[in-house]
Amino acid sequence: MITPLKLQKGDLISIVAPSSGVDNKSLQAAKRIIERFGYRVHISAYAVKKKTYLPASDKKRAAEFQKALDHTEVKAIFCARGGYGMHRTIDLLCFKKFKKAPKWIVGFSDITLLHLHLQNVVGVKSIHGPMPSRFKDTPKKVLKHLFMLLEGHDMPIIRGKSKTRLPSGILIGGNLSMIHSAIGSSSLKKTKNKVLFIEEVDEYYYAIDRMVQSLKRADLLKGLSGIVVGSFTQIKETRPGLKKSVNTILKDASGKIPVVFGIQSGHIKRNYPFILGQKL
């Protein structure tokens, strides 16, 4: 797995929106925050939220992302936000130039599909972490952690009180719904000997169970070295309910595969970043 070059103060960071857009006020706040960390910022013309759900057509959003991928002066790409849209742009992108001179790409949620593609198809590491849409509400220590990663420092995966050792293997994954939606695509092919990170927000327990069981039926849990679990927030129950916790759902499906809980990452305020594609 290829590791992008570390950032140097004064480097140019591009904010693009391969998925949904962001209100201009939040983008400008993110720009000021990034500049305070010592970097220059370019905001894509199509990153600003419009009246429609997507900020621009698929071709326009992909073209802006392609510019950032190929531009020699851009040293890192921050995806503006998640939402929806990555599925509509991923196959419009070309990674040939990018693979020769890879740069860090940061995002989570809907950007999970891009992460999966980078690790399974392109062979490049990326960062699961906070995005400009939330920078103004993200604790400074979380943002500092992000820039330390970008600058090449060896930063730990932040966990809760669990002392369970993390399983060994190449770390992949992200949002469970997005992983589930990639079943059968080139972006999610081989999981053998890998460690799968998952997180989720605003779902029903039965839907989580269905997605995990779908991964199992597709043989994508088979051969995993382990599963590491981030935040599962705003999870809802039906009436009558499934009566199974997220922990139970995962343990039932995983069998003998080790499952480690407590990763402090996902749809939470303290969404600590970490490198996908790294070997644990």
pLDDT in tens, 95-143: 999 999 999 999 999 999 999 999 999 999 999 999 999 999 999 999 9
- 70 and 150 housed in the same domain: yes
Q: How far apart are CA 277 and CA 172, in angstroms?
A: 6
- 79 and 142 housed in the same domain: yes
53 has a pLDDT exceeding 90:
no
- pTM here is 0.96
- 255 and 229 housed in the same domain: yes
Q: Closest Cα partner for 150 from 104, 98, 102, 101?
A: 104
Q: What is the CATH number of the domain that holds 139?
A: 3.40.50.10740
Rounded-to-10 torsion of CA 166, 110, 19, 6: 0
152 has a pLDDT exceeding 90:
yes
pLDDT in tens, 186-229: 999 889 999 999 999 999 999 999 999 999 999 999 999 999 99
| 195 falls within a domain | yes
Q: Any alpha helices (H) in the chain, and if so which ranges? A: 24-36, 58-70, 86-89, 96-100, 112-117, 140-150, 176-181, 205-217, 246-254
Report the mean per-residue pLDDT for the chain. 96
* Owning domain of residue 128: 12-156
Buried b (16+ CB within 10 A) or exposed e, 71-110: eeebbbbbbbbbbebbbbbbeebebeebeeebbbbbbbbb
Q: Closest Cα partner for 275 from 114, 138, 151, 155?
A: 155
The mean pLDDT value for 46-63 works out to 90
pLDDT of residue 164: 85
- 151 and 175 housed in the same domain: no
| 270 falls within a domain | no
- 76 and 204 housed in the same domain: no
**Which one of 132, 156, 180 terminates a domain?**
156
- 107 and 175 housed in the same domain: no
Q: How far apart are CA 245 and CA 259, in angstroms?
A: 14
The mean pLDDT value for 256-268 works out to 95
More confident: 52 or 24: 24
pLDDT of residue 61: 94
Q: What is the CATH number of the domain that holds 214?
A: 3.50.30.60
- 201 and 141 housed in the same domain: no
**Which one of 156, 179, 203 terminates a domain?**
156
